[in-house]
Chain A
Amino acid sequence: MLVIFGVTGDLSSKKLMPAIYDLANRGLLPPGFALVGFARRDWAHQDFAKVVHAAVKQHARTPFREEVWQQLSEGIRFVPGEIGNEESVNHLAETIADLDEARGTGGNHAFYLSIPPGLFQTVVDQLRSHGLAEQHPDRWCRVVIEKPFGHDLASAQDLNRIVSSVFPASSVFRIDHYLGKETVQNMMALRFANQLFEPVWNNNYVDHVQITMAEDIGIGGRAGYFDGIGIARDVIQNHLLQLLALTAMEEPTSFEASQLRTEKQKVLAAARPTERMDLHTARGQYAGGWAGGERVKGYLDEDRIPPNSRTETYAAIRLNIDNRRWAGVPFYLRTGKRLARRVTEIALGLKRAPHLPFTKTDTEELGYNAIVLRIQPDEGVTLRFGAKVPGTQMEIRDVNMDFAYGGSFTESSPEAYERLILDVLLGDPPLFPQHEEVELSWEILDPILDYWASLPNQPELYEPGSWGPQGAEAMLARDGFTWRRP
């Protein structure tokens, strides 16, 4: 049984409910599966079922089938109520007990907290006081929380204290939907199932790594959440640092959750920002203008954003990893809103060949070799190397060799949330970060955030639909690199 708090949110209708339907459609949900929504709305079960129905129809990735919907709709319940209100929680507990009986859930519950972290304490306390969070040896009770996992190290520790006071670490699932992406898991396959890449996957051959997550949209309706938080907390702390960990970690002895986590923690503990943050970080805020053929507002003109907000919508940082494999290889992480296109990728830049037996003009256009892991939207791998341009002259230019998942595996890759929800239900946690990883990430990011907070000026403005502020270009140019156009 899945109980969703804050079920009226965007995430829930766009991602969670369609993912649940898709899982059911693929036959991956147990017959006794039940879904309980809890929110501050005056809805009956049927109203909620309608909302779920609409969300599924609009956003599900698999075709809509009436019989699957019937199976699912039998187990859909809604509990209207306020968080913190005793009566509502009583009602919730009754509903859950009823469902346990009616659907034969076996008493297995997962609580999905799609609510602001400030409310965690209340919810968790109430779950405990109503006996909903009790752990029994023959059934499970899990809690799922969404990013952000705090807004700095101290708050992350607080949050962890609250949740772990009731739920043991193995029952806490921190959802980072990026980690559910097929390609992220494929990174492990690529790195550890092949002989081809491992020999070059180190500072003998790699001279820098760029991890990019760009969005072409602005903050949209998330003003209340986003302002004051900023994109570094929103994206770098979780997604980009997780990608960094998966890229840079050593081979785990097995893919058991604990082994994988150990390796990720080791590499995160070795990563640190540089001492000169003025030279090796950049932040920006999108200006108004035209992007992708549409007129768009600047960040400060967005609804409910104070006109003097210093929240960054673009962030680029350099990290060093102090271990034998990566010493001397800078890792550049960048993310931003209103950039030219939506793309997430990891690019390993290789050193130039030590000797080029060609004339200088032959290789003038030759860049560097690169291994690019594309995470979205076009999942795959690109190898970039030099090749001769057809013709009588010796002219060497970069070409791309492309592998795309879309074509190689015809079964459409499951949406990240499907995978994660399934893992929650199965209790299979390797893709979920635990509090140690979260805290290590904050330890990396906190000094940078403090430095930015100490700056008197606004973040640098950048043109919407561009690839970020000038400062970010300068930051790489100082080290003799340039950002890829992803």
Chain B
Amino acid sequence: MTIIRLANTTSAEISTELLRARRSAGNPAEGLVLTLIIVCDESEYPEAKDASMEAGREHPSRILLVVTGAGRNASLDAELHIGEGTPGEVIVIRMRGAVAAHSASVIRPLLLPDSPVVIWWPGKAPNNQTADQLSQLAMRRLTDAAASARPLAGLKARARDYIPGDTDLSWTRLTPWRALLAAALDQYPATIKSVVIESERGNPSADLLASWLHSRLKVDIARKVSNGPGLTAVRMATAAGDIAITRPDGLLASYAVPGQPERLVALKRRNFTELISEELRRMDADEVYERAIKSLLDGERKTVSRPAATKRATKKAPGQGTAAKKTTSTTRGR
């Protein structure tokens, strides 16, 4: 592995150096499929760096790790990691002062030609994502509400300025849960009367799951606080008993459907690499996520009208099967 350090540099110099490094590594051809921009500050850097090294394994990419910092003097330093051990190219770019305020001008020349650009904030995401100059370069924007101090507020902010291409990793964490729940309703298409979600306090995935189930099933969602880790259980009440998925240890879940024996399902909490790899597989907008996150705001506005919604849902007993099917098919689509 080669590490090339450039101090007080420019984008043009970084490009030239990249090309030279690729040539001297004997592999001037570029087989990279996407550019992944990772934005963090110094305190988040070590973790972001490890994650970035891993993230490119499945999708050979040019990874631009943008570390911004305040400072009186403008400076731009870069570190190029190329060669074996590093998937694709990892370029650490440190910006300070006025350069950091114009980060897009540094990053734009470094994007791979005509291929997708994904941006990921492993820590704090910008307050107004649509206005953020770096996020405008990307077609997919990944945030992580779980990393913020007030996850639910973070999610709601995401919902307010949602644009197609946004995804929050707290939603990605739900994929196996959603697949299981949808499969359960496929197997046992009963009318759901109510749902209980148990999770740690302030778990954004649980918030999103509640919002998704509410928007799909149109029933009341009750929340219970558990000791975690993360999401610990989802129980959907039907006339014949509960459809329940419980995962007390964050590894192995038990899966119960009325009239069938209880079964075990591996439902490990996944690490960043797996989450990012999953998101990088899709470059189009996640419409199911859009509906789920937007209905977080509905809940906020329509707290009064909720009982009415519940009533309508219970009345429409035969329609429930269709709702469940719809859920299933959307999950598969993702």
What residues of chain A have their CB less than 8 Å away from a CB belonging to chain B?
216, 289-295, 340-343, 361, 364-365, 367, 370, 372, 377-378, 380, 382, 384, 389-391, 393, 395, 397-407, 464-466, 484-486
Contacts and interface: CB of A to CB of B under 8 A. Distances in A.
B171 to A, nearest CB: 17
Contacts of A401: 31
Interface of B: 9-12, 15-16, 19, 23, 26-33, 58, 76, 95, 98-99, 102, 105-106, 108-109, 111, 113-116, 281-284, 333
Given A384-B114, A400-B31, A407 B105 contact: no
Given A341-B15, A361-B284, A395-B281, A293 B28 contact: no
A400 B98 contact: no
A466 B137 CA distance: 11
Contacts of B11: 216, 292-293, 341, 465
B9 A485 contact: no
A292 B33 contact: no
B211 to A, nearest CB: 23
A96 B29 CA distance: 49
A293 B33 contact: no
A485 B111 contact: yes
Given A341-B109, A342-B12, A397-B116, 9 more contacts: A216-B11, A216-B109, A289-B102, A293-B95, A294-B10, A341-B11, A341-B12, A401-B31, A407-B28
A340 B281 contact: no
Contacts of A465: 11, 105, 108-109
Nearest to B18: A378
Contacts of B10: 292-294
A367 B109 CA distance: 22
Nearest to A389: B281
B283 A365 contact: yes
A292 B105 contact: yes
B105 A380 contact: no
Contact of A292 (B30, B109, B283): B109
Contact of B19 (A370, A377, A382): A377
Nearest to A399: B33
B57 to A, nearest CB: 11
Nearest to B101: A290
Q: Which of A216, A342, A407 has the most CB of B within 10 A?
A: A407
Contacts of B29: 380, 402-404, 407
A390 B333 CA distance: 16
A466 B136 CA distance: 12
A57 to B, nearest CB: 20
Contacts of B19: 377-378, 406
A341 B111 CA distance: 10
Given A293-B76, A399-B33, A340 B109 contact: yes
Contacts of B115: 398, 400
Contacts of B27: 407
A464 B104 CA distance: 11
Nearest to B110: A341
Nearest to B15: A341
Nearest to B8: A293
Contacts of A402: 29-31
Q: Which of B12, B95, B102, B114 has the most CB of A within 10 A?
A: B114
Contacts of B33: 397, 399-400
Given A293-B99, A295-B98, A216 B31 contact: no
A291 B108 CA distance: 9
Contacts of B108: 340, 465-466
A306 B10 CA distance: 29
A65 B248 CA distance: 75
B283 A289 contact: no
B114 A404 contact: no
Q: Nearest 7 CB-CB pairs, A to B?
A: A292-B11, A290-B102, A404-B28, A407-B28, A290-B105, A402-B29, A341-B109
Nearest to B29: A402
A470 to B, nearest CB: 14
